[in-house]
Amino acid sequence: MEKYQLDRLLKNLLSDYLVFAPIKHKGMVFVGEIDSVKQINYSGEIPLNTYKKVFLPPTEELQQINDEKVSISKDRQDKVVAFGMNILDLQAHTLFDLVFSKDVYYQRRKRNTVVIGFSNGIENDFRKYKAFHSKYEEDVLEHLIFDIFIEKQKNANLIFFSGSQKGQQLLEKNKIKDYQHIEFAGAIPEEGINPRIIENREAVELSEKHPIWDELAEICLACGKCTVHCPTCFCFDQKDEVDSQGTKKIRQWTSCYYPEFSKVAGGHKDLDTVKKKIYYWYYHKFVRIPDEFSYYGCVSCGRCSRVCPVEINISKVLQSLNKQQ
């Protein structure tokens, strides 16, 4: 397939959907809303921000309470396309589908969203982002949740894959007939959990007394930038806002680094030191999520290291912890 067919698909989507895609601004790649296919960046560089706000907005109205009647808010009904999601962001999206499988608000947004992945070569991308993967899996797409995936070959031709009925219908509607359908085979491969997940899990779980947490606590600002830019961080808070029209229940992003995160009635905080906050964040990524979902809590995108003002590097931290094994 050729580039003009992809452009035609995107132009048609732009007429009916809000489209978010990788764009370049001041020399850096970001995920942003586009109004022209010419804005899309196809370099394969991982955007500094993520697609998670498409599925889990920073602030979202959940419910309205008026005259003792509770109703689900009609927050965002826009149809959205998340275009250009790389392999790692698709892994993060697959985790979100596991975590929010029973969340009616997430599912509503998911129904209104088309997920389109893109790669300049799946195998090359997988090896380039190999920090937390033990090997390249040829059937990687079978274990990712998407509607359409597009792989660019060395000769610049494009291979189209559908991952859902929604994706198939869109391809057919846009006269793209030459595509391969990928049946989702579950998030976990047949051979079981990736060995690298097990290695990192053991290293982090046994490391609570490791001096590295004291060292990191000396420099960490507890600013929470790592959690904002992480595609797999999904912690949120809920609060009620009251006005003359009634009460609104609001969901907002939060971070385990924020002062109020672990505060309970009486003022007690479980995470009352920076050291505890850092260890908790790593424990959640590498122990709790694998235990609960048998899946990646970290997809090795490196965003947290890129935005950290004191240059804490997650890969180097894991290397240090694995040396203790």
pLDDT per residue as tens digits for the range 187-234: 988 888 888 889 999 999 999 999 999 999 999 999 999 999 999 999
Reply yes or no on whether the pLDDT at 129 is more than 70: no
pLDDT of residue 137: 52
- Largest Cα–Cα distance in the chain? 64
Q: In what helix (H) or strand (E) does residue 147 lie, and over which residues does it extend?
A: none
Which two three-digit tokens encode residue 140? 């990687």
Mean pLDDT across 163-189 = 94
Supply the pLDDT for residue 267: 79
Reported as a pLDDT band with limits 50, 70 and 90, residue 112 is very high
- Band the pLDDT of 125: cuts 50, 70, 90: low
Q: Residue 86: what pLDDT?
A: 94
Identity (one letter) of the amino acid at 38?
A: K
Name the band, by pLDDT with cuts 50, 70 and 90, for residue 324.
confident
Whether residue 51 contacts residue 231, with contact meaning beta carbons closer than 8 Å, is answered with: yes
The residues facing 29 across adjacent strands are: 24
pLDDT at 249 over 70: yes
The residue type found at 270 is D
Q: In what order do the strands lie in the sheet with 28-34?
A: 28-34, 18-25, 80-85, 113-119, 148-152, 158-162, 179-181
**CA 263 to CA 284: how far, in whole Å?**
18
- Among 32-46, 215-229, 267-281, which stretch is predicted with the lowest mean pLDDT? 267-281
DSSP 9-68: HHHHHHHHSEEEEEEEETTEEEEEEESSGGGB--S-PPPSS-SHHHHS-SEEEEEEEETT
pLDDT surpasses 60 at 134: no
pLDDT tier at 66, thresholds 50, 70, 90: confident
The strand pairing partners of 247, in sequence order, are 65, 242
Angle of the 274-283 helix axis to the 195-205 helix axis, nearest 10:
160
Does residue 18 register a pLDDT over 70?
yes
pLDDT(282) > 70: yes
Length of the chain: 325
**Which ranges of the chain would DSSP assign to H, the alpha helix?**
3-16, 52-55, 87-99, 104-111, 122-128, 165-173, 195-205, 212-219, 225-229, 274-283, 289-293, 303-307, 314-323
Share of the chain above pLDDT 90, in %: 72
Residues whose CB is less than 8 angstroms from the CB of residue 319 and which lie 6 or more positions away in sequence, other chains included: none
Q: Is the pLDDT of residue 176 over 90?
A: yes
What's this model's pTM, rounded to 2 decimal places? Answer: 0.91
